[in-house]
Amino acid sequence: LTLKEAFKDKFLMGVAVNRYQINQSNQEETDLIASQFNALTAENDMKWMYIHPEENTFNFEQSDKLVELAQKNDMFVVGHTLVWHSQLAPWVFKSNNGDTISNEELNGRIKKHISTIVGNYKGRIDAWDVVNEALEEDGSYRKSPFYKIGGEAFIEKAFQYANAADPGAELYYNDYNLITPEKRNGAIRIINNLKSKGIKIDGVGVQAHWSLNEPSIEDIETAIKMYSETGVKVMFTELDISVLPSPWNAPTADVSVSFENNPTMNPYPNGLPDSVQTQLAKRYEEIFKLFNKHSDKIGRVTFWGLHDGLSWKNNFPIRGRTDYTLLFDRGMKPKKAFNAVINTV
Ligand code: XIL
């Protein structure tokens, strides 16, 4: 049984795919993607710096390959992401006539960015993460240049431009730490604000870069219920479970230096011990039991990477760590966690 077969009556099972995978097209990887998953997200290739590197240059080469791969295998495609303060092209906030960009000029750029990209993929990309990470941890708006210049209206406009360019595409707000009450309430405020103005939003994307014990199942459940009550679908969009200590919780770790100088941050030089393998499987099992219980509210669960060797968590938040976040190991073999997840159905 594969993931997409096991969960076909519950929600979509997605995976994020990176540029290297698309270009090298390793057959074993492609087969694993196609057999296990029915939704695809570009890990990086649709971000502003890659897809719109200069004001008048759009580069669809990589994203086209990804969309082709998805079409060939009948997969749902998620466009990630239209407006985000990170992995942005350097020209975006530089005015053509002076150094401080006006709201009008910036808004024109956002409009062109969204209309061109969403329009180009009209009918081919099924859903968009329209705005990514627009909240601070306390639930207030993130003080990014998008917000400082455009106010909260930048979010409303982004959704309107996306909807105008492809009325058939689903539109999402995506962010991390959306389980904490503060940030959860911030996201609910965004959803309700859009809805009260008649602007289409179909879902909230909870990134789900989680660890072995955080967040708690109870808090995840509360968030699923509260998001669902606003009338949007809940998506878990970037699921991975780190088995390593968080440097923010480990007082001895210095996130600014590499792991070579932080040996305690890479505690499993001989591979992941069975006991932790089991812990990871248990954690995934509890999470999917909860997802199944609320499958009527959940549209999709997407893993942020195909196998442990490809997980961004090997380099974040400390470069050079070896993490074991996903359901397939570095040899693309299913881990204990894979079976645990399948067996929840
Ligand atoms: C990450 C990618 O996985 C890395 O390859 C890249 O270097 C940085 O971005 N939130 C998001 C994702 O919305 O786009 C990020 O992806 C992880 C955090």
Query: If you measure from the C-alpha of residue 174 to the centroid of ligand 1, how many angstroms do you get, rounded to a whole number?
Result: 12
Average pLDDT for 59-66: 97
In this structure, what token pair is assigned to residue 115? 């209309």
Give the three-class secondary structure for 247: coil
How far apart CA 209 and CA 280 sit, in angstroms, is: 14
Q: Which atom of ligand 1 is nearest to the CA of 305?
A: 3
pTM: 0.96
Confidence at residue 245, expressed as pLDDT on a 0 to 100 scale? 80
The residues that are catalytic are 238
Q: What percent of the chain has pLDDT over 90?
A: 86
Query: If you measure from the C-alpha of residue 80 to the centroid of ligand 1, how many angstroms do you get, rounded to a whole number?
Result: 10
- Range with the poorest average pLDDT among 120-124, 211-215, 257-261, 299-303: 257-261
Query: If you measure from the C-alpha of residue 145 to the centroid of ligand 1, how many angstroms do you get, rounded to a whole number?
Result: 20
Q: pLDDT tens digit string along 223-256?
A: 999 999 999 999 999 999 999 987 665 545 555 5
Is the CB of 60 within 6 Å of ligand 1?
no
- Choice from 316, 319, 323 to test ligand 1 binding pocket (greatest atom count within 8 A of CB): 316
Tell whether the model's pLDDT for residue 257 goes beyond 70. no
In this structure, what token pair is assigned to residue 256? 């600014």
Query: If you measure from the C-alpha of residue 130 to the centroid of ligand 1, how many angstroms do you get, rounded to a whole number?
Result: 15
How far apart CA 118 and CA 78 sit, in angstroms, is: 11
Which residues share a beta bridge with 14? 39, 302
- Of all protein residues, the one whose alpha carbon is nearest to atom 16 of ligand 1 is 43
Q: What percent of the chain has pLDDT over 70?
A: 94
- Choice from 44, 321, 323 to test ligand 1 binding pocket (greatest atom count within 8 A of CB): 44
Q: Mention every residue, 6+ apart, whose C-beta is less than 8 A from residue 101.
A: 93, 94, 95, 149
How far apart CA 147 and CA 141 sit, in angstroms, is: 7
How far apart CA 313 and CA 311 sit, in angstroms, is: 5
How far apart CA 305 and CA 317 sit, in angstroms, is: 16
Closest CA to 126 of 38, 44, 7: 38
Is the CB of 228 within 6 Å of ligand 1?
no
Q: pLDDT tens digit string along 259-310?
A: 555 655 778 888 899 999 999 999 999 999 999 999 999 999 999 999 999 9
Average pLDDT in the chain = 94
Question: What are the chain's domains?
Answer: 3-342 (3.20.20.80)
Q: Mention every residue, 6+ apart, whose C-beta is less than 8 A from residue 240.
A: 208, 209, 210, 303, 304, 305, 311, 312, 313, 325, 326
How far apart CA 205 and CA 93 sit, in angstroms, is: 26
How far apart CA 141 and CA 225 sit, in angstroms, is: 23
Query: If you measure from the C-alpha of residue 20 to the centroid of ligand 1, how many angstroms do you get, rounded to a whole number?
Result: 15
- Choice from 46, 82, 86, 326 to test ligand 1 binding pocket (greatest atom count within 8 A of CB): 86
Integer CA distances (angstroms), 162 to 45, 87, 131, 156, in order: 18, 20, 10, 10
Confidence at residue 304, expressed as pLDDT on a 0 to 100 scale? 98
Q: pLDDT tens digit string along 6-62?
A: 999 999 999 999 998 888 888 999 999 999 999 999 999 999 999 999 999 999 999
Confidence at residue 239, expressed as pLDDT on a 0 to 100 scale? 98
Closest CA to 282 of 231, 332, 328, 344: 344
Integer CA distances (angstroms), 79 to 70, 109, 140, 165, in order: 12, 19, 25, 13
Q: Mention every residue, 6+ apart, whose C-beta is less than 8 A from residue 115.
A: 161, 164, 165
Is the CB of 240 within 6 Å of ligand 1?
no
Confidence at residue 125, expressed as pLDDT on a 0 to 100 scale? 98
Is the CB of 21 within 6 Å of ligand 1?
no
Q: pLDDT tens digit string along 144-192?
A: 999 999 999 999 999 999 999 999 999 999 999 999 999 999 999 999 9
Q: How far does Cα 128 stand from its chain's mean position?
A: 11
